[in-house]
Amino acid sequence: MAHTLNLTLRIWRQSDRDARGEFRTYDVRGISTHMSFLEMLDVLNEQLIQQGEEPVAFDHDCREGICGQCGMMINGQAHGPDRETTTCQLHMRRFENGQTITIEPWRARAFPVIRDLVVDRSAFDRIIQAGGYISVRTGQAPEANTLPVPYEDAEKALDAAACIGCGACVAQCKNASAMLFTAAKVSHLALLPQGQPERRRRVVNMVARMDSEQFGNCTNTYECEAACPAGISVGTISRMNREYLKARLAGVEPNL
């Protein structure tokens, strides 16, 4: 049976990159506990439009927990209180009637605020462009058995490839480190036969790009793993560190 909530929302409002933002408070009433968090924000925006005010800008796309666009801090937690759950899959039954909810964008130098809850995550795209791919001719998919992969390696590669690039790991880390994201992209290719020809060059270039984007350093607090909606393990960071060390000992230099 659905119940309804009356909530106070404390939301970060910022008109553009250069504006000085501030928290503003809004009240929403009659919110169904069956609603997702983004549906609740839709209700707020309808209310604001009817009042002649600017709606709250926030990223969203698939609303199925796949695209990673819906990232925001909810009461100090990336994507909210549920583990391995994106904001769009967070339901209002996780909140209490009369509760105040603080909503703000990712906080990281590498993720400048564009407007309200929307941040520029193109730094992730540039890390991928530095080496998160394989240089092969595309065409018809090869027969699966022509490239045998050990079961354990295949499972680890698939686990790392589950990263949706939402940025929760950066937002939750006290240093705004992108190590978990970069490690996931390095790891899933390093574990597969297709990724071997560019293995050393890939990790050196991607780490160099990550550093140049002004992300912070990893200090092993594991907050990234706890916040990751895909449940990616910090073990991928250890793998990336090993890959990087081997490549540098082999004399590979960044080539960006």
The predicted structure's pLDDT at residue 143: 76
φ/ψ bin of 31: left (φ > 0), alpha (ψ from -120 to 50), beta (otherwise):
beta
The predicted structure's pLDDT at residue 147: 79
Res. 212: pLDDT tops 80: yes
The Cα–Cα gap between 6 and 29 comes to 4
Res. 1: pLDDT tops 60: no
What mean pLDDT is predicted for residues 131-143? 81
CATH of region 121-249: 1.10.1060.10
For the chain, percent of residues with pLDDT exceeding 90: 91
The predicted structure's pLDDT at residue 256: 76
Q: How many CB atoms lie within 10 A of CB 6?
A: 12
The predicted structure's pLDDT at residue 48: 98
Do residues 205 and 214 touch, judged by C-beta distance below 8 A?
no
CA terminus-to-terminus distance, the chain: 56
The predicted structure's pLDDT at residue 39: 97
Res. 172: pLDDT tops 70: yes
The predicted structure's pLDDT at residue 139: 76
What mean pLDDT is predicted for residues 171-199? 95
Q: What is the DSSP string of 167-221?
A: -HHHHHSTT-B-HHHHHHHHHHHHTSGGGSTTHHHHHHHHHHHHHHTT-B---S-
The predicted structure's pLDDT at residue 2: 60
Q: Which residue has the tokens 């060059």?
A: 201
Order of all β-strands in the sheet with 22-32 = 22-32, 4-13, 100-104, 73-74, 77-78
* Weakest mean pLDDT among 99-113, 125-139, 180-194, 240-254: 125-139
- For the entire predicted model, the pTM comes to 0.93
4-115: CATH, from 3.40.50.620, 3.75.10.10, 3.10.20.30, 1.10.10.10: 3.10.20.30
What mean pLDDT is predicted for residues 142-146? 74
Residues 6 or more apart from 33 whose CB is under 8 A from it?
Answer: 2, 3, 4, 5, 91, 92, 93
For the stretch 49-79, pLDDT in tens is 999 999 999 999 999 999 999 999 999 999 9
φ/ψ bin of 218: left (φ > 0), alpha (ψ from -120 to 50), beta (otherwise):
beta
The Cα–Cα gap between 15 and 53 comes to 13
Mean pLDDT across the chain, nearest whole number?
95
Res. 142: pLDDT tops 90: no
Res. 141: pLDDT tops 90: no
What mean pLDDT is predicted for residues 16-21? 95
Provide the strand spans (E) within the chain. Answer: 4-13, 22-32, 73-74, 77-78, 100-104, 113-115, 118-119
What are 47's two structure tokens? 């209310």
For the stretch 71-106, pLDDT in tens is 999 999 999 999 999 999 999 999 999 999 999 999
For the stretch 28-42, pLDDT in tens is 999 999 999 999 999
Q: Any idea where the domains of the chain sit in the sequence?
A: 4-115, 121-249
Q: Which residue has the tokens 């597969």?
A: 192
